[in-house]
């Protein structure tokens, strides 16, 4: 069913942050930092994949994503919803269902046999495609997926994510340079604000997290092992 209720973006951000905290998808660990895929340390970690196991929260967030892109871009703006392998696939399917649109997905690399394709499902020349993912940090993987979509002759100028780090200033610039606009539900700043309201974490922990969010490169340099 296509959502017909359009909460304000600030309310969507507040509720989305609260839901991620409620299911333990967010963790803060400045004393024993996580190691990111880049190999760099981080006092924060978010796992949006956990959302698929919580039907009520999953449903609410997918409603939020559908109304966000329809409000920002248009109700009839897209012809196809594409998920990025692998975390974006379930969310793309759920958004496509809500928007009554075909769904496809994009592989990180060609599978190396058969059609050797990066696009699975049906995507045709001239379609306007929305790329759906779980989150974005610097936007790098989104650009790769967008390029694969465009190789089919389709257009992809928008990507939607549940969670946006929003701490690296180059992210939006990188995406914009490739003709892509980012839409998101919440960021680390929304999660931090909600975490302070609920008092579920020690104040000292959240203060250290805030120091990281304000200058992540400096924090990582200071905590490299």
Note the pLDDT tens digit of each residue in 163-220: 999 998 889 999 999 999 999 999 999 999 999 999 889 999 999 999 999 999 999 9
SS3 of 225, please?
coil
Alpha carbon distance 129, 173 (integer Å): 21
Residue 213's beta-bridge partner residues? none
With residue 152 as reference, give the H or E element that holds it.
Answer: none
Alpha-carbon distance of 131 to 163, in angstroms, equals 14
Instruction: With beta carbons less than 8 A apart as the criterion, state whether 185 and 162 touch.
Output: yes
Q: What is the pLDDT of residue 75?
A: 93
First to last CA, the chain: 50
User: What tens digit of pLDDT does each residue of 6-17 get?
Assistant: 899 999 999 999
How confident is the model over 127-144, as pLDDT tens digits?
999 999 999 988 788 999
CATH of 9-222, one of 3.40.50.2300, 3.40.50.300, 3.40.50.2020, 3.40.50.2000: 3.40.50.2020
Tell me what pLDDT residue 225 has. Answer: 74
pLDDT higher at 88 or 3: 88
Confidence of residue 52 (pLDDT cuts 50, 70, 90): very high
Among 35, 13, 17, CA closest to 25: 17
Residue 116 has pLDDT above 70, yes or no: no
Instruction: State residue 38's pLDDT score.
Output: 72
Domain ranges of the chain: 9-222
Q: Which tokens belong to 88?
A: 């974006």
Q: Which of 127, 47, 118 is nearest to 84 (CA)?
A: 118
pLDDT attached to residue 112 = 64
pLDDT, greater one: 178 or 225: 178
Q: Is residue 78 predicted with pLDDT exceeding 80?
A: yes
- Structural contact between residues 90 and 110, judged by C-beta atoms closer than 8 angstroms: no
């Amino acid at each position: 069913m296509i959502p017909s209720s359009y909460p304000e973006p600030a309310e969507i951000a507040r509720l989305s942050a609260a839901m991620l905290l409620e299911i333990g998808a967010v963790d803060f660990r400045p004393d024993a930092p996580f190691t990111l895929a880049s190999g760099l340390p981080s006092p924060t970690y978010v796992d949006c994949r956990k959302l698929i196991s919580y039907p009520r929260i999953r449903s609410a967030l997918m409603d939020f994503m559908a109304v966000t892109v329809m409000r920002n871009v248009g109700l009839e703006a897209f012809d196809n919803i594409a998920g990025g392998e692998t975390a974006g696939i379930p969310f793309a399917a759920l958004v496509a269902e809500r928007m009554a649109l075909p769904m496809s997905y994009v592989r990180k690399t060609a599978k190396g046999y058969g059609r050797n394709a990066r696009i699975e499902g049906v995507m045709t020349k001239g379609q306007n495609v929305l790329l759906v993912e779980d989150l974005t940090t610097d936007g790098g993987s989104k650009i790769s997926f967008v390029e694969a979509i465009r190789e089919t002759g389709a257009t992809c100028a928008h990507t939607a994510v549940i969670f946006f780090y929003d701490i690296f200033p180059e992210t939006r610039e990188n995406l914009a340079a490739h003709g892509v606009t980012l839409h998101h539900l919440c960021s680390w700043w929304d999660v931090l604000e909600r975490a302070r309201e609920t008092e579920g974490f020690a104040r000292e922990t959240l203060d250290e997290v805030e120091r990281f969010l304000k200058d992540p490169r400096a924090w990582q340099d200071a905590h490299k092992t």
